[in-house]
Structure 1
Amino acid sequence: MNLFDLSGKVAVITGASSGLGADAARAYAAQGADVALLARRKTKLDQVVKEIEATGKKAIAVQCDVSNEENVKQAVEEILSHYGKIDILLNNAGIAIKGSVENMTVEQWDTAMDINVKGIFLMCKYIVPQMKQRKYGKIINVASVNAIIADKAEPLVRHSYNTSKSAVLGLTTGMAVSLAQYGITVNAVGPGLFESEMTADTLFKEESFLQMYNSLCPASRPGRKGELNGPILFFSSDASSYTTGQFITVDGGLTAV
């Protein structure tokens, strides 16, 4: 029996227009799931949907700003109308704003909290009820290694990111404990440095930073495309039927030193 088989399941992925979210959507489809891809940029979503459909799998693109309650409500209604259910929710949408508490604006702080924390709250608010009704659900929240460690190096000082990703862990354990009785598991993954739209034009362009990161990371390199998919699929499948409230870092050993 393939414990990672997702045939017959419906997976919703936020922040799915590029990077880790798009990779996860492809991985879900490859394991047999029907997928719904959410993001603000519909054109990019449509491109990923075409890639998935070309493999013979089902996928839909739904434009949605996860920090906007009405957007989220309408998106969930559209997905349920199309597929009839939601089995898996991957809360991947996120933003990293550079700055420390003394030089960030209130608007920047609020934006980070709205997308990284409120976005997860809103998605769960409108998806959890039908999971509870069906006595089944898999919720995976994408946090970060920066939920538990911080950075002194100037390119990585992001106090709102540290705070919001730590809040994701609190929300994960809180929901895990209260939802376990309904057959719903809630877990989190914490990626280290991966190349994505968020990092390609910043961290990956800083040669001195990459050298420093590689010297600190036991694996001596950033994460590669697809290396986050394994833990996500584990938490999304029956392989993790008795695992909830957990946080796995995917960081080449960075948080182990």
Structure 2
Amino acid sequence: MSIKFDLSGKVAVITGGAGILCGEMSRQLGSLGVKVAVLDLDGDKAKKVADDIVAAGGDAIGVKVDVLSKESLEAARDTILKKYGRLDILINGAGGNKKEATADENMSFFDIPVDALRWVFDLNFIGTVLTTQVFGKVMAEQKEGNIINMSSMASYRPLTKVIGYSAAKAAINNFTQWMAIYLNQNYSKDIRVNAIAPGFLLTQQNYYLLVDKETGGDTKRGNDIKNHTPMGRYGEPEELVGAIIWLCSDAASFVNGAVIPIDGGFAAFSGV
């Protein structure tokens, strides 16, 4: 049965691959024998993650890419295909939020600039769509492949303050289902599209929203999150990897169009 989880020799492309979450995914998949193309807007950081994988005995390359530029994505695709010859796994991990698109004590919803909202929505949603157009086409031509999108708990119930991010992640869920059906009906029954929806993990983006700069303890928002997470803590980046391995492997061969919560019970808890 364990052979179904074997990913050795597969080729994976991971956008946002130099970040905390997708960097961990990149390194872990590399340790399992996956050939990893680490894609990130910061090319130096992408190369650093790839170098870590190679130093540990794996096979990886770091590629600078802008997920909002089709030309940049196509250039990255050509580089990857030239080196590895094929593509088995795409993880659409690039995303994030922007302070200027956040409704809080400093910014009323009624004053949020449209450009800031568009930036957040485009990065999270349009960046995923464009990347899937470029790399998903390779899978369509191969007649097989595996796409995993990055959703969020914010897609189930919008988080207070983060309007653009919540809306974009809800769109990711819908796109995941749409894309799974489209590829199966038009190209191949052997292409699967799923998503993971992480709960709350400490990252560079949210750290000081959740951790008090002065005391190192929880902020009010951080405390509220833990109180609404039955396991009573934040997740760790490596705790996303098990679901990624499962979704990428033949063990999940009938899982398609699904959004998998990895949230310590947050989505299941009503608050009472």
Aligned-pair distance for 1:113?
Answer: 1.7
**Matches of 2:204 and 2:191 in 1, distance apart?**
31
Aligned-pair distance for 1:150?
Answer: 2.1
Is it true that 1:158 corresponds to 2:178 in the alignment?
no
Partner residue of 1:170? Answer: 174
Aligned length in residues? 253
Contact 2:209 2:221 in 1 (8 A): no
Contact 2:231 2:264 in 1 (8 A): yes
Is it true that 1:201 corresponds to 2:224 in the alignment?
no
Aligned residue identity for 2:26 = A
Contact 1:145 1:251 in 2 (8 A): yes
Aligned-pair distance for 1:20?
Answer: 0.5
Partner residue of 1:71? Answer: 72
**Matches of 2:174 and 2:43 in 1, distance apart?**
31
Alignment of structure 1 residues 12-31 onto 2, 5 Å: 12-31=13-32
1:197 alignment partner, SS class: coil
Between stretches 141-150 and 128-137, larger displacement belongs to 128-137
Which of 122, 136, 141 does residue 128 from structure 1 map onto? 136
Contact 1:180 1:244 in 2 (8 A): no
**Matches of 1:133 and 1:46 in 2, distance apart?**
28
Is it true that 1:225 corresponds to 2:237 in the alignment?
yes
**Matches of 2:32 and 2:261 in 1, distance apart?**
22
**Matches of 1:244 and 1:103 in 2, distance apart?**
40
Between stretches 206-215 and 59-68, larger displacement belongs to 206-215
**Matches of 1:194 and 1:159 in 2, distance apart?**
19
2:260 alignment partner, SS class: strand
Aligned-pair distance for 1:131?
Answer: 0.8
**Matches of 1:129 and 1:79 in 2, distance apart?**
14
**Matches of 1:138 and 1:60 in 2, distance apart?**
20
**Structure 2 regions of 5+ residues with no counterpart?**
104-108, 213-217
Return closer, same or farther for 1:204/1:239 CA change in 2, 3 Å cut-off: farther
Partner residue of 2:246? Answer: 234
CA deviation vs aligned residue, 1:1-55 (integer Å, no higher than 9, x gap): 4222111110000001121110110121122110000111112112211211111
**Matches of 1:124 and 1:165 in 2, distance apart?**
16
**Structure 1 regions of 5+ residues with no counterpart?**
none
CA deviation vs aligned residue, 1:202-235 (integer Å, no higher than 9, x gap): 3233532222211111000010230011111111
Alignment of structure 1 residues 1-257 onto 2, 5 Å: 1-98=2-99, 99-100=102-103, 101-152=109-160, 157-181=161-185, 182=188, 183-205=190-212, 206-257=218-269
Contact 2:209 2:219 in 1 (8 A): no
Partner residue of 2:215? Answer: none
Q: Which runs of 4+ in 1 moved over 3 A?
A: none
2:197 alignment partner, SS class: strand
**Matches of 1:20 and 1:4 in 2, distance apart?**
21
Contact 1:4 1:31 in 2 (8 A): no
Aligned-pair distance for 1:151?
Answer: 2.8
Contact 1:87 1:138 in 2 (8 A): yes
Between stretches 62-71 and 127-136, larger displacement belongs to 127-136
What TM-score do you get using the length of structure 2 for normalisation? 0.89
Between stretches 202-211 and 188-197, larger displacement belongs to 202-211
